[in-house]
Amino acid sequence: MSSFPSSHMADNSLSSNSIATSTYKLSKKEEGEVVTVDEDKLRCRRPLKDIINTELDSEYKELILALPKEERWLSPLRYYRGFWQLQQALPRILAMQEVFMSRPSDVIVTSFVKSGTTWLKALTFTIMHRDKYTFSHHPLLTLNPHDCVPSIEHVYAARDEQYLETLPSPRVLGSHLSYSLLPESIKTSKCPIVYICREPKDVFISFWHMSLRLEGLKEPPSFAQAFELFCEGRVPHELESSPEKILILKYEEMLKDPIDGVMMLANFIGHPFSEKEVKNGVVEKIVEFCSFNKLKELDVNNGGDITNSYFFRKAVVGDWQNYMTMEMVNKLDEITKEKLCGSSFTY
């Protein structure tokens, strides 16, 4: 692949307002056991209502308040580097850009929200650590994928950036930021970036359902209003040429042929399967272990500050057909075509 779609289309008003978080846990291997350390202390994925209600009292306050502003559904948005961002989220983004140092062995998992992020995190973590954990005693049996693969910006939101330094290499880290907003150390290092994208119409429907389940927030807009907000992405499509560093996966293709997708992912991140592993069905076992139904039924994925079940809905292709009018379909298809114009990437 020669292009990198930024948040697939654009960082739009609805999603910029609504990214929600819960908690994360530090896990490590110790004498063959998975140990969860000080869960309460390591709270980095804070509830969205807490982020929104937080006063802007950081060292970046003057810079942030000087940025273009728009009032939206949940909180003011600020226009930063081509993207409308939740005002209270900008301090963590700025701090991350300034401080975060990547390692060559890092693997960065990125996506727009509700595009298969949870599944990709589970697959990547399991592939990279398949020599450490058996399927019967595995961190993903007791931890949500977002706990095993922490979001960089959420760690900075918790003001616990030193936590990332304590993680042993190779680290698997996540982000919902566009390529242009990632720290320079990620873009200039040799660490691979894996980006998963999804049919925009399904992304909207999935995100809409998630937004309806968030607690402690203002009354959400109607379906029609939410659709217009989703379509109001003001960001020109961003293309970055770095085929050796970035792997782009399509959610639909991964669902259709997960075996091929997992093998391609393993090769790209430098953890290919041996002939013996392929012969012994290790790839198939990882696909089954990380399957939507397997993850969704675990107790750990039915709790949390933001209920972890929010990350698991249907995982189907084409659910938009049950909700959207033809006028909506045509409008979003045209926007998608326009945003991807000039690239080899299509949807």
* Interval 60-108: pLDDT, tens: 888 999 999 987 765 688 899 888 888 888 888 998 998 899 999 999 9
Report DSSP state, residue 288.
H
* Interval 188-246: pLDDT, tens: 999 999 999 999 999 888 888 877 766 555 666 788 988 888 888 644 334 555 667 89
| Number of separate helices (H) and strands (E) present in the chain | 17, 9
Q: The pTM is what?
A: 0.78
pLDDT of residue 309: 39
Top pLDDT among 4 and 241 is at: 241
Using 50, 70 and 90 to split pLDDT, how confident is the model at 161? confident
Name the one residue in this structure whose structure tokens are 């660490």: 191
Using 50, 70 and 90 to split pLDDT, how confident is the model at 18? very low
As a CATH number, domain 13-339 is 3.40.50.300
Report DSSP state, residue 243.
T
Residue 20 pLDDT greater than 60, yes or no: no
Catalytic residues: 176
Highest mean pLDDT among 5-14, 38-47, 200-209: 200-209
Burial of 187 (0-12, 13-18, 19+ CB in 10 A): middle
What is the rounded distance in angstroms from the CA atom of residue 131 to the CA atom of residue 112? 30
Top pLDDT among 249 and 12 is at: 249
Residue 173 pLDDT greater than 90, yes or no: yes
> Chain centroid to CA 94: how far?
18
Q: What does the mean pLDDT of the chain come to?
A: 77
Using 50, 70 and 90 to split pLDDT, how confident is the model at 14? very low
pLDDT of residue 67: 94
What is the rounded distance in angstroms from the CA atom of residue 79 to the CA atom of residue 157? 19
* Interval 315-324: pLDDT, tens: 567 888 888 9
pLDDT of residue 158: 73
Please state the domain extents for the chain.
Answer: 13-339
User: ω before 47 within 30° of 0 (cis)?
Assistant: no
Using 50, 70 and 90 to split pLDDT, how confident is the model at 144? confident
Structure tokens at 339: 């945003």
Highest mean pLDDT among 177-191, 258-272, 297-311, 319-333: 258-272
CB atoms within 10 A of CB 321: 11
Residue 146 pLDDT greater than 80, yes or no: yes
Top pLDDT among 18 and 30 is at: 30
What is the rounded distance in angstroms from the CA atom of residue 181 to the CA atom of residue 2? 19
Residues in a beta bridge with 173: 108
* Interval 116-130: pLDDT, tens: 999 999 999 999 999
